Amino acid sequence: MAAVPDIRKRCIIWLGNPGSHEREVLAAAGWELRVVEDARGARIGLRGGDQVAALVDLRGNDPAWLAEMRDLLSRHPDLPLVALCTAVDSGDDVELPGNCLLALHEPLDLSQIRRLQQIVEGDHIRPSSQQGDCLIGDSPALLQVRANLNKFAPVDLPVLVTGETGTGKELAARALHELSPRRGGPFIAINCGALPPNLVQAELFGHERGAFTGASARRIGLFESADGGTVFLDEVGDLPLDAQTNLLRVLQEGTLERIGSRQSIRVDVRVLAATHVDLEEAVAQGRFRQDLFYRLDVLRLHMPPLRDRGNDVELLAKHFLAQFREQHRVRARGFDATARRQLHAHRWPGNVRELLNRVRRAAVVSEGELIDAKALQLQQAVSADDGDGLDGRRVHAEREAILTTLRDTGFNVSECARRLRVSRVTVYRLCKKHQLELEALRT
């Protein structure tokens, strides 16, 4: 199903002088850049709906310049504002603008851009009271989740968030951060499965200049960037073993070493982790360190599948439709009886994410005011659930595909994952789903 494109633009208004590398990384990450070098007569034009942040570049600019910029910024008190300082400028003698949300002490690179993204998306400025409300639903299963969120948030211990794909694990992790005393600090989410194995260590823990070929400058890792806040390790089961060892050290001692350095750096982060695979089984198979598992699994938050959440499905469907209507002009404004029946009957293997995508799509294709089961494409899906229908054939084809690829690759999971363009964890999950015992097959 085609994703609905996000037509909002992301724009950085750079007050000062960006370097050519900074221009490049911003452009590569899809940001539009507007440079304001001289505040006199300058105006900050904002277009409704766009995601805009101002970055005040304090490097090499004098107090008079800063005073002018402050004057310009005072006309936009709600604009998310970031300051970029050098290590020297970050001393007490430079006063940051009062509404500054974050000071960045490194030239802009990928990890800093992530922090910018969080600011622009409003994670730093949304009042915390709204955060609990992000999780829509009032089923007993969701009330239990909310109760746990409130219980776990203030306690500075790791939380392991479990649940099927699309159940809201990341949303819950963000809510934990926002409800915690760390809410003023950064929230950095990392998908461990999406990081190339050879770059994981550098991304997470940083590196010194010259630590390896291509390391032309010192780089701060995501853990250091999250100092004072929360790191969310998504798909933690995908973390390579050497990175697991370093993560254990962060959890046990609160310290890390950048690659290429022996100096131990203290970091103050709360670690939240999520997995949709059975980590206990990964431990049993030697793919995940047992000691790390115990360190992560201190508090456990389970996100229930949508099919166990009763009327939440209808509540969520209405919420997603209303949200979509705010941004797009569509006729659809509700669901007819067939659609509502099918919403309840469907098994929702992709959970809330599947519902969100079906509702968006239906809102676009629906010609009437009420969305029907056909627009949701749930007629086929529901009838496919019985017996040996379409669903049965799909499951069979999936099993064949994974088995054939495993055989072709001599049961090499990494190679199989590469050929099927999925993560290694997905291969393990599919093996489990289709009762394919890797060890037995190999012999």
Ligand X SMILES: Nc1ncnc2c1ncn2[C@@H]1O[C@H](COP(=O)(O)OP(=O)(O)OP(=O)(O)O)[C@@H](O)[C@H]1O
For the bound state, the minimum distance from the C-beta of residue 234 to Mg ion, rounded and expressed in Å, comes to 5
For the bound state, the minimum distance from the C-beta of residue 145 to ligand X, rounded and expressed in Å, comes to 8
172 with 161: CB under 8 angstroms? yes
Which CB, 42 or 141, lies closer to ligand X? 141
Q: Which does 59 bind (CB under 5 to 8 A by kind): ligand X, Mg ion, none?
A: none
219-252 core/surface letters (b: 16 or more CB in 10 A; e: else): bbbbbbbbeebbbbbbbbbbbeeebbebbbebbe
Asked if residue 166 binds ligand X (CB under 6 A), the reply is yes
β-partners of residue 82 are 55, 102
CB count in 10 Å sphere of residue 130? 10
Asked if residue 233 binds ligand X (CB under 6 A), the reply is no
97 with 70: CB under 8 angstroms? yes
| 156, 132, 141, 154 alpha-carbon torsion, rounded to 10° | 20
**Of 61, 111, 167, 230, which lies in the binding site for ligand X, with binding defined by CB under 6 A?**
167
- Provide the pairing of β-strand 187-191 with 10-15: unpaired
For the bound state, the minimum distance from the C-beta of residue 137 to ligand X, rounded and expressed in Å, comes to 5
312 with 167: CB under 8 angstroms? no
**Of 50, 68, 164, 170, which lies in the binding site for Mg ion, with binding defined by CB under 5 A?**
170
Which CB, 167 or 246, lies closer to ligand X? 167
Which of 114-122, 204-212, 352-360, 400-408 is the region at the interface with ligand X (rule: CB under 6 A)? 352-360
Tokens in use for 316? 């969520």
Taking residues 102 to 141 in sequence order and writing x for each that binds ligand X by CB under 6 A, - otherwise, the string is ---------------------------------xxx----
Which CB, 132 or 260, lies closer to ligand X? 132
**Of 86, 165, 338, 379, which lies in the binding site for ligand X, with binding defined by CB under 6 A?**
165
Q: Which does 163 bind (CB under 5 to 8 A by kind): ligand X, Mg ion, none?
A: ligand X
β-partners of residue 207 are 219, 259
**Of 356, 363, 402, 406, which lies in the binding site for ligand X, with binding defined by CB under 6 A?**
356
Residue that is written with structure tokens 């409300």 in the block: 133
For the bound state, the minimum distance from the C-beta of residue 169 to Mg ion, rounded and expressed in Å, comes to 5
- Distance between CA 387 and CA 180 in Å, rounded? 47
Residue that is written with structure tokens 């968030």 in the block: 161
- Distance between CA 85 and CA 211 in Å, rounded? 24
Q: Which does 356 bind (CB under 5 to 8 A by kind): ligand X, Mg ion, none?
A: ligand X
Which of 169-177, 209-217, 340-348, 355-363 is the region at the interface with Mg ion (rule: CB under 5 A)? 169-177
299 with 158: CB under 8 angstroms? yes
- Provide the pairing of β-strand 255-256 with 265-266: antiparallel
CB count in 10 Å sphere of residue 281? 13
- Distance between CA 181 and CA 58 in Å, rounded? 29
**Of 115, 169, 270, 289, which lies in the binding site for ligand X, with binding defined by CB under 6 A?**
169
Which CB, 316 or 402, lies closer to ligand X? 316
207 with 215: CB under 8 angstroms? yes
Asked if residue 276 binds ligand X (CB under 6 A), the reply is yes
Residues 6+ apart with CB under 8 A from 340: 314
Which CB, 319 or 419, lies closer to ligand X? 319
Which of 20-28, 37-45, 219-227, 351-359 is the region at the interface with ligand X (rule: CB under 6 A)? 351-359
Residues 6+ apart with CB under 8 A from 409: 415, 416, 419
Which CB, 164 or 227, lies closer to Mg ion? 164
Taking residues 229 to 268 in sequence order and writing x for each that binds Mg ion by CB under 5 A, - otherwise, the string is -----x----------------------------------
- Distance between CA 400 and CA 409 in Å, rounded? 14
For the bound state, the minimum distance from the C-beta of residue 352 to ligand X, rounded and expressed in Å, comes to 4
Which residue's beta carbon is nearest to the bound ligand X? 168
Q: Which does 225 bind (CB under 5 to 8 A by kind): Mg ion, ligand X, none?
A: none
Which of 36-44, 91-99, 163-171, 390-398 is the region at the interface with Mg ion (rule: CB under 5 A)? 163-171
Number of residues that bind Mg ion (CB under 5 A): 2
- Distance between CA 98 and CA 81 in Å, rounded? 10
For the bound state, the minimum distance from the C-beta of residue 170 to Mg ion, rounded and expressed in Å, comes to 4
Nearest C-alpha neighbor of 121 from the set 58, 188, 44: 188
For the bound state, the minimum distance from the C-beta of residue 395 to Mg ion, rounded and expressed in Å, comes to 24
Q: Tell which positions 91-130 bind Mg ion, by CB under 5 A.
A: none
Binding residues for ligand X, rule: CB under 6 A, are: 135-137, 163, 165-171, 234, 276, 316, 352-353, 356
What are the residues binding Mg ion (CB under 5 A)?
Answer: 170, 234
